[in-house]
Structure 1
Amino acid sequence: MAEIPVDLARFDRVPLGNWPTPLEDCPRLSKALGGPRILVKRDDVNGLGVGGNKLRKLEFLLGAALADGADTIVTFGGVQTNHGRQTAAACARLGLRCELVLTRQVTRLPGSRSLTAPRDGEAYERSGNVALDLLFGARVHVCDDGAHAEATYQRIVEELSSAGRKVVPLPIGGSDGVGVLGYLAAAIELRDQLAKVAKTNRIVCAIGSAGTAAGLALGTALLDWPVIVDAASVSNTVPECSADIERLVSDAAALLGVRAPRLDHVRVTDRALGDGYGLPTPVVWDAIRLFGRTEGITLDPVYTGKAAAALIDAVRTGDIPATETVVFVHTGGLPGLFGYAPELIEEAQG
């Protein structure tokens, strides 16, 4: 079994999650699909702030921020951002002030159909992640678009810096070279778990800001682990996602002092993307119901629902052979499901 040729212990890190997260066999889901053996890596149940994949990134990001003397964190996202909610919870635990700059605008792809997006209304703006942001003590700034968000960020930094506070911004999704280290660590953890369970052919995950996919891509490459990483886009085109993975892998490799590896084992698909970020399609709701009714596993309509829909389609079209063993990385997102309450109630009865 290959050992990873890097030392993560030299990076500043704060403990936030419960590791390792469970790796669950899903026989009823596998039977329903009539194809490969499906296992689910439960990064949705890793503890702090209702859990989710961002905690792995935040351990390194906030470790670096604290080492830099930060007392205030500012980060960004959509109104129902999971990253914002987990950042708020982590800041509460660490005694840091948290400022969340959130944007109402939902990205539609060129040529998308006219759909009613749940980007406003009581459920979307006052429940789910937003309610938890407030519960964890974050100051929430809801903006209309990117320009408004940028102006708000500049105002926050100026005001707090003038008051003598040390402000450190975190990128959207916690995705930069430092954040990638979280899922490099996860790749090591997953490889060790699977050594006791099964030989795995493929890892499936969602890709938005790309930090999770990049960490898995880098980790599996450095481990010389012969596994495919399938990344299902939830927001951008395949070329954009691929470029993001390559950029983040390169940045993280530079931090580690190693050469950026080839990423021939990484596949990006937009087969479940639909009309853009935050816009679930019928197949996404189908996937959410299937996971719920076969395994009691809750997906969300923004990230894991789309990744699951891509997995299901790949199995049913034969792109993932029935002989494979597949790990589905559950990146969390449960609170965001309730931001889609009107659709959720209707779709859950389907």
Structure 2
Amino acid sequence: MAVAANIEFHRFPHVELLEGPTPIQKLDRLSASLGGVNIFVKRDDVMGLGGGGNKLRKLEFLVGQAIAQGADTIVTVGARQSNHARLTAAAAARAGLKCELVLTRAVPRTDPAYTDNGNILLNDLLGAVVHDLPGSANALEFAEARANELRALGRNVYVCPLGGSSPVGCLGYARCAIEIDQQAQQQGISFDEVVVPNGSGGTHAGLAAGFTLLGRGTTFVRGHAVLSSAERSTQITLEKTSQTLELMGASNRMSEADINISGEHLGDGYGIPTDSMRAAVRAMASTEGLLLDPVYGGKAFAGMIQDIEQGRYKPGQNVLFVMTGGIPGLYAYRSAF
């Protein structure tokens, strides 16, 4: 605890994009329906800016770094319905930066609800320039080339990685681990595990780094892979956790055994609906009145439900699920429901 308390996050450039700590709530009805495991949710879906979501915690540090470097433009990458892209556009608008989004058609969908609604509608409202690339394109390579074009015109461009999941971006969730720990102490709760979706790995890695410095260890955070296989997600998350700890001045050494990831609910791939995702989204909505997105939270919550049903958590244990937002995606996935 003393080590974590001394982490000087203020050493890193930072802009305020949140309104303070997000709440932790218990899901009483769903907990009872699943046999008495106490399910809590960390409501990172209720942030105000741009529709909210976990990427804002990363963007506090990323946009802070961009401004510290004198940037006037931020360019980032993602899939067509990227939540990170939408929130980068919102954060850029708040900070007075121009924003360009390089989006690939990585999900094999061509219906208008997917290609033109949800996050795509919001990107337009937020004033971002959108580059529409095929699924086979190298988005980051295109973004770097576009950044060089803009630099040649005299612009100062900051290129933000997929999901904002650089070590700097991961600081947002290292700080969130401290926030969760403080809230748990205030509410008199001891969590047995924290559960998150694992896409680009930054949310998981940041939490793992933060909880490591709190003495809980990296395996205290369980990720459910939604972008890559469990093996690939483990490699990425291990690398990002190590880099984040190094950035914070820690000397912890880890191996793949220290990363806790299940790939059982990825299905046929990123953004492709599964029956278990649909069931999880409906269960959360009809039991608790809360909304999960179909790409990240829905699949991860389905994984947590399966873990409960298979006895990973026992009645009376406390599990915290991080709700990462992405609700606009529901409107793009109308056909899936």
TM-score bucket (shorter structure): over 0.9
After the TM superposition, which residues 149-168 of structure 1 pair with which residues of structure 2 at under 5 Å, given as runs?
A: 149=139, 152-168=142-158
Say which SS state the counterpart of residue 18 (structure 1) adopts.
coil
Matched with 1:205 is 196
Displacement of 1:322 in angstroms is 2.2
Structure 1 alignment gaps of length 5 or more: 107-116, 345-350
Say which SS state the counterpart of residue 280 (structure 1) adopts.
coil
1:220 is the counterpart of 2:220: no
Matched with 1:173 is 163
Equivalent residues of 1:249, 1:260 under 8 A apart: no
Matched with 2:240 is 248
Q: State which drifts further: 158-167 or 67-76.
A: 158-167
Aligned residues: 333
1:121 is the counterpart of 2:111: yes
Say which SS state the counterpart of residue 100 (structure 1) adopts.
strand
Distance 1:3 1:251, change over 3 A: closer
Detail structure 1 runs of 4+ shifted over 6 Å in the superposition.
none
Q: State which drifts further: 314-323 or 133-142.
A: 314-323
Displacement of 1:148 in angstroms is 5.8
Displacement of 1:323 in angstroms is 3.0
- Output the TM-score relative to the length of structure 2: 0.95
Say which SS state the counterpart of residue 45 (structure 1) adopts.
coil
Displacement of 1:273 in angstroms is 1.0
CA offsets per residue over residues 28-75 of structure 1, 9 Å max, x none? 110111131000000000110000000000000110111011101010
Equivalent residues of 1:57, 1:181 under 8 A apart: yes
Matched with 1:137 is 127
Equivalent residues of 2:18, 2:56 under 8 A apart: yes
Matched with 1:87 is 88
Matched with 2:18 is 17
Say which SS state the counterpart of residue 12 (structure 1) adopts.
coil
Displacement of 1:153 in angstroms is 2.4
How many Å separate the matches in 2 of 1:247 and 1:167? 26
How many Å separate the matches in 1 of 2:316 and 2:264? 22
Q: State which drifts further: 319-328 or 95-104.
A: 319-328
Matched with 2:305 is 312
- Output the TM-score relative to the length of structure 1: 0.91
1:37 is the counterpart of 2:38: yes
Equivalent residues of 1:17, 1:55 under 8 A apart: yes
Displacement of 1:342 in angstroms is 1.9
How many Å separate the matches in 1 of 2:31 and 2:332? 29
Displacement of 1:292 in angstroms is 0.3
How many Å separate the matches in 2 of 1:8 and 1:18? 17
Say which SS state the counterpart of residue 103 (structure 2) adopts.
strand
Equivalent residues of 2:280, 2:301 under 8 A apart: yes
Which amino acid is 2:123 matched to? D
Equivalent residues of 1:229, 1:265 under 8 A apart: no
Displacement of 1:105 in angstroms is 2.1
Say which SS state the counterpart of residue 286 (structure 1) adopts.
helix
Matched with 1:237 is 229
Distance 1:150 1:255, change over 3 A: closer
Which amino acid is 1:80 matched to? Q
How many Å separate the matches in 2 of 1:269 and 1:221? 20
Displacement of 1:158 in angstroms is 3.2
How many Å separate the matches in 2 of 1:93 and 1:219? 27
Equivalent residues of 1:199, 1:325 under 8 A apart: yes
How many Å separate the matches in 1 of 2:259 and 2:148? 41
1:187 is the counterpart of 2:180: no
How many Å separate the matches in 1 of 2:258 and 2:28? 26
Aligned-residue Cα RMSD (Å) equals: 1.6
Distance 1:181 1:218, change over 3 A: same
Distance 1:23 1:143, change over 3 A: same
Distance 1:148 1:249, change over 3 A: closer
How many Å separate the matches in 2 of 1:153 and 1:50? 25
Equivalent residues of 1:253, 1:259 under 8 A apart: yes
CA offsets per residue over residues 169-192 of structure 1, 9 Å max, x none? 000000011011000000000000
Say which SS state the counterpart of residue 16 (structure 1) adopts.
coil
Equivalent residues of 2:78, 2:139 under 8 A apart: no
Displacement of 1:96 in angstroms is 0.4
Equivalent residues of 1:2, 1:224 under 8 A apart: no
Say which SS state the counterpart of residue 207 (structure 2) adopts.
helix
Displacement of 1:3 in angstroms is 4.7
Matched with 1:68 is 69
